[in-house]
Amino acid sequence: MLLLYTQHILLKRLLVLQNDNFSKNDIDAFKHAVVLTGGIATGKSTVASLFALHGFLTIDADKIAHKLLDMHHEKISELFGDEYVEDGKVLRKKLGGLIFNNVDEKTKLENFIHPLIKEEIIQEAKIFESQEKPYLIDIPLFFERQHYDIKKSVVVYISKETQVERLMKRDNSTKEEALSRINNQMDIEEKKNLATYVIDNTKNLKHLQHEVERVKALLI
Band the pLDDT of 17: cuts 50, 70, 90. Answer: very low
User: Parallel, antiparallel, or unpaired: how do β-strands 89-90 and 85-86 relate?
Assistant: antiparallel
Residue 26 has pLDDT above 80, yes or no: no
Model-level pTM? 0.84
What mean pLDDT comes out for the span 46-57? 97
Residue 36 has pLDDT above 70, yes or no: yes
Chain-wide mean pLDDT for the chain?
89
pLDDT in tens, 172-195: 999 999 999 999 999 999 999 999
Coil vs helix vs strand at 187: coil
Residue 22 has pLDDT above 50, yes or no: no
pLDDT value, residue 11: 52
Bridge partners for 90 per DSSP: 85
Q: 58 vs 2, 6, 22, 218, CA distance in Å?
A: 14, 12, 21, 17
For the purposes of burial, counting CB atoms within 10 Å of the CB of 174, is it exposed (0-12), middle (13-18) or buried (19 or more)?
exposed
Of the candidates 217, 191, 166, 206, the residue with the CA atom closest to the CA atom of residue 37: 191
| Amino acid identity, position 215 | V
Residue 12 has pLDDT above 80, yes or no: no
